[in-house]
Amino acid sequence: MDMTENLRPSGAHPTDQDRTSYAYGNAAYDGSTAYDGVAGGYPPPPPYAPTNNHRRAKRPVALLAAVALAAAVVGGGTATLVGQLNNGSAQATGFTGTVQGTTVSQSSKGTVSGVAEAVSPAIVEIGAASSAGKSTGSGVVITEDGEIVTNNHVISGAQQIEVTLSTGKTYTADVVGTDPDKDLALIKLRGASGLKTAALGDSSQVKVGDQVVAIGSPEGLTGTVTSGIISALDRDVTVAKDDSGSSDQGQGQGGGGQQWPFEFGGQQFNGDTGEKTTTYKALQTDASLNPGNSGGALINMDGEIIGINSAMYAPSSSAAGSGSSAGSVGLGFAIPVNTLKADLDTLRAGNNS
């Protein structure tokens, strides 16, 4: 049947309804004008384009679901990816499988082994020789060319400093700056490049009960890893302040059983801190710390440095009766990393407080 055929029944007459004008194309149709080539005077229906909105609407949803499913299979990142897509962000393409600022893989995140594997290469052993003997401590590499943070009492009065990396390679180091008031020091390796560095975290975010990992060189055992929790915050710890090297605090970190003298709660531990002392706010941890851990790292489970280990309590052995060390009893202290970050410019300037 011709689509333009007049479908009005034979003999039918127009109704008495008012004629209404309709816009059609570029002319107005009032119901009485006959169109060329059209029987009956009625215009042909307008050519409507076929629509497929229902089918098209489903395709982006299906695509989003497929992408989210693929992200879940590869790296468990569905929630992050969908959230970024909903916000119109394209940052999801930058995901590399590591926690930003560290090298702890997603599969190992939150494990002691994962933290140890990622951060151990940035922890070094420091040997400091002076007229009083040789001390052993630890340090944290913070730049690829060999800037290392440690405790002031580790290198205090040292005439020569030798640093051993986790690989066994050794370097000679020079003192860049010290801050005895905070028991911090910065040294620099000679001729180093391309070193593995540690990421500095935010100690203001640390909470009591957080899991932590300690890495250092207790008794010269390089790269020793222990773990525990944060036991308390803002402990007032007092340690010896001595740039001349006349005290034993910095000289007993190797063998011989001597400890880090410090004061806490009005009492002295591990010996006499001397007349020159300094007090700082410290993180308390039950992670095992022993002589040689001084200057090493206290690390959160994302692999970020949150403190520099500085003091621990080790009661003397009653069996020996000679004041020899009985080892760690889970009472250790670390200088918050935010204290270090605030002091870095001063240390790099070579200022010795």
Pick from 28-42, 146-160, 193-207, 229-243: least confident: 28-42
pLDDT at residue 134 greater than cutoff 60? yes
48 located within any domain: yes
Residues 303 and 155 placed together within one structural domain of the fold: yes
CB-count burial class (<10 Å; 0-12, 13-18, 19+) for 305: buried
Token pair of 35 as six digits: 């169109």
Q: State which amino acid sits at residue 286.
A: D
Question: Rounded distance, CA 240 to CA 260, Å?
Answer: 9
pLDDT the model gives residue 52: 53
**CB-facing half-sphere around the CA of 240: CA atoms within 13 A:** 24
- Which is more confident, 97 or 155? 155
117 located within any domain: yes
Indicate the pLDDT class of residue 59, thresholds 50, 70 and 90.
low
Residues 183 and 80 placed together within one structural domain of the fold: no
Residues 249 and 116 placed together within one structural domain of the fold: yes
60 located within any domain: yes
- Which is more confident, 90 or 39? 39
Give the tens place of pLDDT for each residue, 243-290.
Answer: 443 333 343 444 333 455 666 666 666 556 667 788 889 999 999 998
Domain count, the chain: 2
Question: Rounded distance, CA 136 to CA 125, Å?
Answer: 7
**Range of 18-27, 80-89, 229-238 with top mean pLDDT:** 229-238
DSSP string across 209-277: T-EEEEEE-GGG-TTEEEEEEEEEEEEEEEEE--SSS-SSGGG-SSSSS----EEETTEEESS---S-E
Residues 205 and 144 placed together within one structural domain of the fold: yes
Question: Rounded distance, CA 236 to CA 162, Å?
Answer: 31
The widest CA-to-CA distance across the chain, in whole angstroms, is 131
**Range of 13-27, 28-42, 97-111, 298-312 with top mean pLDDT:** 298-312
Token pair of 272 as six digits: 């006499």
- Domain end call among 85, 116, 131: 85
Its pTM stands at: 0.65
Question: Rounded distance, CA 41 to CA 31, Å?
Answer: 8
pLDDT at residue 241 greater than cutoff 60? yes
Query: Contact, 312 vs 348, CB < 8 A?
Result: no
Indicate the pLDDT class of residue 242, thresholds 50, 70 and 90.
low
Question: Rounded distance, CA 228 to CA 306, Å?
Answer: 14
Beta bridge partners of 238: 263, 279
Residues 198 and 285 placed together within one structural domain of the fold: yes
Give the tens place of pLDDT for each residue, 152-197.
Answer: 999 999 999 999 999 999 999 999 999 999 999 999 999 999 999 9
Question: Rounded distance, CA 144 to CA 295, Å?
Answer: 18
pLDDT the model gives residue 326: 55
123 located within any domain: yes
Residues 160 and 32 placed together within one structural domain of the fold: no
CA dihedral 269, 271, 275, 279 (to 10 degrees): -30
pLDDT the model gives residue 149: 98
pLDDT at residue 198 greater than cutoff 60? yes
Helix (H) or strand (E) holding 47: none
132 located within any domain: yes
Residues 185 and 292 placed together within one structural domain of the fold: yes
- Residue 113 CB coordination number (10 Å): 11
pLDDT the model gives residue 110: 83
Catalytic positions, written as ranges? 153, 183, 294
Give the tens place of pLDDT for each residue, 207-216.
Answer: 999 999 999 9
- Domain end call among 85, 117, 134: 85
pLDDT the model gives residue 49: 54
- Which is more confident, 66 or 296? 296
102 located within any domain: no
pLDDT the model gives residue 307: 98
- Residue 302 CB coordination number (10 Å): 18
Residues 347 and 202 placed together within one structural domain of the fold: yes
pLDDT at residue 27 greater than cutoff 80? no
Question: In sequence order, what are the residues at sequence separation of 6 or more whose Cβ sits closer than 8 angstroms to the Cβ of residue 264?
Answer: 235, 236, 237, 238, 313, 333
**Range of 218-222, 226-230, 233-237, 246-250 with top mean pLDDT:** 226-230
DSSP state of 352: B
Residues 69 and 201 placed together within one structural domain of the fold: no
Residues 49 and 123 placed together within one structural domain of the fold: no
Residues 40 and 156 placed together within one structural domain of the fold: no
Average per-residue pLDDT for the chain: 73
Residues 63 and 200 placed together within one structural domain of the fold: no
93 located within any domain: no
Expressed as residue numbers, the domain containing 272 is 108-353
- Say which CATH number the domain at 248 has: 2.40.10.120
Question: Rounded distance, CA 24 to CA 41, Å?
Answer: 14
323-328 mean pLDDT: 56
351 located within any domain: yes
Give the tens place of pLDDT for each residue, 98-131.
Answer: 333 455 767 677 899 999 999 999 999 999 999 8
pLDDT the model gives residue 246: 36
